[in-house]
């Protein structure tokens, strides 16, 4: 690797930002320098980076000179404001927020599914929603083999998807309830401890939530195939790490459960964990901290012609966010795409 790369993590004090630093370090991403940015509130504090610590710098519009690649996980507003300035300074952005995902100028990439989309990037690349990422990794081999026509998904999503504040809310409410105190709802509209909320992100005019429509629209964009029909119900569950999804898939061509099991076990990024007789099925509590997308409960849907049911579980902070973003960075490096072709595209 000849190029000397300076890499920034923006939102480095957050749940995903910290995991991005861990992932860069663990995968030995070839950066000569790694810099950590967050808001003015955290400037001067330290975040771990392998054996070392990085001093957090305040994010400002003019900090990107000399930075080759910035991985953002600091929320949509921060990304909308700062990513264009990064691109203007010649810094390629991989952004974990929803700000750029549906922007036509920005590829939306899961490296196991559509790495080719990176080739037309203009400076900002979007990392999909955590629930979408784990689902499309498992759908990819089935779509290639049998052409998916429809997907019905229900999610069971961990509180870490809301960031550090979601983790703290569940912790605090559990402690309050066990101490006979009335738990306070600061982050979610209702109690999350010992409850299930069928409500993630805001409600839209069609009565779906934004999270549900992200799964619909992002899946179509990633597969570049508007003929895939997707419908989703997203729920928040009192789990710290790991999203689970019940996914029903309909294909043009029949795929048996046995064939699906073989295809999935050969697919990159997928780990089939499926043996009902041995009580083998993936669960969030047991896969947190792991990289693959785990698939179990693979079975034919006996109510329709060409249908399959699956249970898909992945660590939402890793493959659902930090790992996917770092894999995008690795793919950009491999394809020699860490450069901004036109620095003014996003400022105008
Ligand atoms: P800070 O800790 O200084 O608020 P999470 O998703 O876990 O809540 O993390 C959000 C991340 O985004 C944190 O690192 C947070 O930094 C960062 N962040 C939020 N707002 C800004 C902002 N305006 N400028 C820079 N970083 C921000």
Closest atom of ligand 1 to CA, residue 165: 8
Q: Averaged over 174-181, what is the pLDDT?
A: 98
**Residue 253 near residue 174 (C-beta atoms within 8 A):** no
Catalytic residue among 91, 106, 130, 234: 130
Characterize 25-59 residue by residue with b for buried, 16 or more Cβ atoms within 10 angstroms of its Cβ, and e for exposed.
Answer: beeebebeebbbbbeeebeeeebebeeeebebbeb
Closest atom of ligand 1 to CA, residue 42: 3
Collect all residues with Cβ–Cβ distance below 8 Å to 226 and sequence separation of at least 6.
220
Question: pLDDT, tens digit, for every residue of 17-43?
Answer: 999 999 999 999 999 999 999 999 999
Q: Averaged over 144-160, what is the pLDDT?
A: 98
Q: Which of 13, 77, 95 to mutate to test the pocket of ligand 1 (most atoms within 8 A of CB)?
A: 13
13 C-alpha to ligand 1 centroid (Å): 7
**Residue 111 near residue 94 (C-beta atoms within 8 A):** no
Q: Averaged over 302-315, what is the pLDDT?
A: 98
Side-chain half-sphere CA neighbours of 161 within 13 A:
31
292 C-alpha to ligand 1 centroid (Å): 27
Going by alpha carbons, the residue nearest to atom 22 of ligand 1 is: 39
Q: Enumerate domains of the chain plus CATH numbers.
A: 6-99+322-334 (3.40.50.720), 131-316 (3.30.360.10)
Q: What pLDDT score does 197 carry? A: 98
Going by alpha carbons, the residue nearest to atom 2 of ligand 1 is: 13
- Residue 226 in this model has a pLDDT that exceeds 80: yes
- Residue 204 in this model has a pLDDT that exceeds 70: yes
Q: What average pLDDT does the structure give for the chain?
A: 97
Percent of the chain with pLDDT over 70: 99
- Residue 323 in this model has a pLDDT that exceeds 50: yes
Question: pLDDT, tens digit, for every residue of 234-271?
Answer: 999 999 999 999 999 999 999 999 999 999 999 999 99
Q: What is the 3-state secondary structure (H, E, C) of the chain?
A: CCCCEEEEEECCCCHHHHHHHHHHHHCCCCEEEEEEEECHHHCCCEEEECCEEEEEEECCCCCCCCCCEEEECCCHHHHHHHHHHHHHCCCEEEECCCCCCCCCCCCECCCCCCHHHHHHCCCEEECCCHHHHHHHHHHHHHHHHHCEEEEEEEEEECHHHHCHHHHHHHHHHHHHHHCCCCCCCCCCCCCCCCCCECCCCCECCCCCEHHHHHHHHHHHHHHCCCCCEEEEEEEECCCCCCEEEEEEEEECCCCCHHHHHHHHHHCCCEEECCEHHHCECCCHHHHCCCCCEEEEEEEECCCCCCEEEEEEEECCCHHHHHHHHHHHHHHHHHCCCCCCCCCCCCCC
Closest atom of ligand 1 to CA, residue 81: 23
Q: What pLDDT score does 314 carry? A: 98
Q: What pLDDT score does 2 carry? A: 53
pLDDT tier at 4 (50, 70, 90 boundaries)?
Answer: confident
- Residue 11 in this model has a pLDDT that exceeds 70: yes
Annotation marks residue 234 as catalytic: no
Q: What pLDDT score does 311 carry? A: 99
69 C-alpha to ligand 1 centroid (Å): 18
- Residue 1 in this model has a pLDDT that exceeds 50: no
φ/ψ (deg, to 5) at 299: -155, 155
Annotation marks residue 143 as catalytic: no
Question: pLDDT, tens digit, for every residue of 84-96?
Answer: 999 999 999 999 9
Q: Which of 10, 11, 71 to mutate to test the pocket of ligand 1 (most atoms within 8 A of CB)?
A: 11
Closest atom of ligand 1 to CA, residue 59: 25
Q: What pLDDT score does 139 carry? A: 99
**Residue 215 near residue 153 (C-beta atoms within 8 A):** yes
Q: Which of 62, 74, 241 to mutate to test the pocket of ligand 1 (most atoms within 8 A of CB)?
A: 74
């Amino acid at each position: 690797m000849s190029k000397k790369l300076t890499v920034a993590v923006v939102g480095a004090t957050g749940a995903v930002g910290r995991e991005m630093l861990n992932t860069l370090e663990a995968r030995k991403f070839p950066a000569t320098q790694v810099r950590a940015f967050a808001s003015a509130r955290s400037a001067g504090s330290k975040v771990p980076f392998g054996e070392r610590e990085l001093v957090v710098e305040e994010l400002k519009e003019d900090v990107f000179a000399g930075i080759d690649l910035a991985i953002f996980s600091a929320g949509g507003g921060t990304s909308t404001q700062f990513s264009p300035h990064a691109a203007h300074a010649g810094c390629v952005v991989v952004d974990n927020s929803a700000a750029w995902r549906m922007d036509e100028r920005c590829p939306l990439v899961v490296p196991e599914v559509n790495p080719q989309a990176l080739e037309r990037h203009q400076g900002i690349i979007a990392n999909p929603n955590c629930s979408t990422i784990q689902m499309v990794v498992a759908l990819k081999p089935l779509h290639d083999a049998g052409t998916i026509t429809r997907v019905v998904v229900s999610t069971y999503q961990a509180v870490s998807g809301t960031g550090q504040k979601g983790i703290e809310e569940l912790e605090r409410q559990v402690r309050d309830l066990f101490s006979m105190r009335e738990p306070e709802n600061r982050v979610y509209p209702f109690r999350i401890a010992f409850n299930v909320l069928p409500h993630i992100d805001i409600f839209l005019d069609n009565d779906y939530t934004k999270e549900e429509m992200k799964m619909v629209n992002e899946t179509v964009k990633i597969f570049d195939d508007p003929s895939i029909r997707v419908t989703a119900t997203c729920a928040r569950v009192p789990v710290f790490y790991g999203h689970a999804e019940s996914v029903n898939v309909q294909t043009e061509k029949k795929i048996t459960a046995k064939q699906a099991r073989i295809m999935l076990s050969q697919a990159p990024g997928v780990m089939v964990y499926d043996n009902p007789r041995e009580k083998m099925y993936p669960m969030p509590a047991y896969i947190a901290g792991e990289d693959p997308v785990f698939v179990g409960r693979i079975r034919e849907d006996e109510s329709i012609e060409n249908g399959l049911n699956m249970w898909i579980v992945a660590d939402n902070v890793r493959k659902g966010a930090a790992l996917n973003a770092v894999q995008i960075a690795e793919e950009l490096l491999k394809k020699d795409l860490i450069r901004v072709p036109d620095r003014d595209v996003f400022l105008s």
